[in-house]
Amino acid sequence: MPVGLIMAIPLLKTEMLILSEETQLVGVFMMFTAAAYVGAGEMVANSLDARKIATMAEHNALEDEAILNVTETIEAHKKRLTLQIGRAHV
């Protein structure tokens, strides 16, 4: 950061860099982003981690339910096949 300021002084003095409204707005946005990252970065990370854990738990529960449904369907098909084989022998 200090190197940037040292280099900015001659650029502004010789008017090689003109600070327009857009340039100032970008600078303010960069400062806001940096301040938000430093000040609230850990809080946002913890919030996202909690959301990730909740989403994974929900996904795992749905996946377990789907596996149970498929297992029940396979068992029902096995019973049906056994009945059909038994009927064919009669």
The tens digit of pLDDT for each residue in 23-59 reads 889 989 999 999 988 888 889 889 999 999 999 999 9
Mean pLDDT of the chain: 88
- pTM of the predicted model over 0.85: no
State pLDDT tens for residues 63-79.
Answer: 999 999 999 999 999 99
pLDDT value, residue 10: 84
Q: Find where tokens 């909740």 sit.
A: 54
* Contact assessment for residue 45 and residue 39, using Cβ atoms and an 8 Å cutoff: no
pLDDT of residue 4: 76
5-22 core/surface letters (b: 16 or more CB in 10 A; e: else): eeeeeeeeeeeeeeeeee
